[in-house]
C-alpha cells in the first residue's frame, strides 16, 4: 500500500505550478484582477481535492480491512486516485496557461487586413487549446468515478462524510468544466474541428453526469444540497 510519501511525490512533480504554491498564494492569484487562473483552473483543482479525499478514504479503509478480496481493489483505488490528483493539478495549471494565450491572442493588433487575419487565426488556435484542456479535465473527472465507486461501496463507514464531500467536489468540478467547454465551443469558428470536439464532449459529459448522479442518488438521496 502506498504511504504518505505520495503527497511529497505530487508536490515534487508539480513544484513549478499550483503544488508549489500555498493555498493562500493560489487564492490570491485566483481573486486578482486577471482572467487566469479562472474557473477552469478552479474546477480542475476542485476535482483534485475530490480525488485526494477518495485516496484518503481508501487508505483509512485499508488500515482496518483484512479481506484480500477488498484490499486489492481498495489499494488500486488509492493509487488511481493519487494519479488523478497529479493529472488534475497539472490540468489546473495548463488551463490557466491556455486562457492566458487566448487573452494574448485577443490583444493582437487588428488595424489592417493581414493583422486581422493573423489575429483571427491566433484566436481560433488559442481557443482550440483552451477547449482541449478542459476536455482532458472532464475525462480525468470521468476516470475518477471508478475509484470513487470502490470507496463508496466498500469504504470505512467512518469516512462516509469524506467520501460524500469527494463526490460533491467531483460533481461540481464536472459541471463547471462542462460549462467552460460549452462556452468555448460557441466561440470556435467553422474552420475548427468544433463538430468533432462537440461529439466527444457530449459522450464524456453524458457518461460522467449519469454516473455521478447515480452515485449521488444511491448514497446521498436524503442529504440536502
Domains of the chain: total: 1
pTM: 0.86
Cα dihedral 190→193→199→201 (10° resolution): -110
- Rounded to 10°, the helix 39-62/23-31 angle is 160
78: CATH? 1.20.120.680
Its domain, for residue 63, covers 5-220
Distances (CA, A) of 61 to 70, 85, 126, 154: 9, 19, 44, 8
Give the Cα separation of 221 and 225 in Å (integer).
10
Give the Cα separation of 129 and 185 in Å (integer).
11
Cα-atom radius of gyration of the chain, to the nearest Å?
A: 19
- 105 within 8 A of 122, measured Cβ to Cβ: yes
Q: How many residues does the chain have?
A: 225
Helix, strand, coil percentages for the chain (3-state, nearest 5): 80, 0, 20
Within-domain flag for 38 = yes
Strand segments (E) across the chain: none
Which region, left, alpha or beta, applies to residue 65 given φ > 0 means left and ψ of -120 to 50 means alpha?
beta
pLDDT tens, N- to C-terminus, the chain (225 residues): 444 445 434 444 445 688 788 999 999 999 998 888 999 999 999 999 999 999 999 999 998 876 788 899 999 999 999 999 999 999 999 999 999 999 999 999 988 888 889 998 999 889 999 999 999 999 999 999 999 999 999 988 889 999 999 999 999 999 999 999 999 988 887 655 667 888 899 999 999 999 998 988 887 765 544
Cα dihedral 41→44→46→50 (10° resolution): -160
Give the Cα separation of 141 and 39 in Å (integer).
15
Cα dihedral 153→91→36→56 (10° resolution): 40
Strand segments (E) across 66-136: none
Within-domain flag for 130 = yes
Question: Tell me, what's the pLDDT at 43?
Answer: 97
Count of beta carbons in the 10 Å neighbourhood of residue 57: 31
Within-domain flag for 225 = no
Question: Tell me, what's the pLDDT at 35?
Answer: 81
Amino acid at each position: 500500500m502506498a504511504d504518505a510519501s505520495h503527497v511529497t511525490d505530487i508536490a515534487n512533480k508539480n513544484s513549478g505550478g499550483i503544488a508549489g504554491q500555498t493555498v493562500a498564494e493560489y487564492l490570491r492569484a485566483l481573486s486578482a484582477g486577471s482572467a487566469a487562473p479562472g474557473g477552469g483552473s478552479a474546477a480542475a483543482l476542485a476535482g483534485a481535492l475530490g480525488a485526494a479525499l477518495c485516496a484518503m478514504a481508501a487508505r483509512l479503509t485499508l488500515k482496518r480491512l483484512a479481506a484480500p478480496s477488498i484490499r486489492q481493489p481498495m489499494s488500486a483505488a488509492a493509487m488511481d486516485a493519487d494519479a488523478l490528483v497529479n493529472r488534475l493539478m497539472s490540468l489546473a495549471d495548463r488551463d490557466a496557461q491556455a486562457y492566458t494565450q487566448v487573452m494574448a491572442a485577443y490583444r493582437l493588433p487588428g488595424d489592417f487586413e493581414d493583422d486581422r487575419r493573423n489575429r483571427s487565426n491566433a484566436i481560433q488556435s488559442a481557443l482550440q487549446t483552451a477547449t482541449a484542456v478542459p476536455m482532458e479535465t472532464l475525462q480525468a473527472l470521468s476516470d475518477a468515478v471508478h475509484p470513487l465507486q470502490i470507496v463508496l461501496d466498500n469504504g470505512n463507514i467512518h469516512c462516509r462524510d469524506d467520501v460524500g464531500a469527494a463526490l460533491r467536489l467531483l460533481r461540481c468540478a464536472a459541471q463547471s468544466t462542462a460549462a467552460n467547454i460549452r462556452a468555448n465551443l460557441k466561440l470556435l469558428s467553422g474552420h475548427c474541428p468544433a463538430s468533432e470536439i462537440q461529439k466527444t464532449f457530449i459522450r464524456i459529459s453524458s457518461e460522467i453526469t449519469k454516473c455521478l448522479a447515480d452515485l449521488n442518488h444511491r448514497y446521498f438521496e436524503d442529504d440536502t444540497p
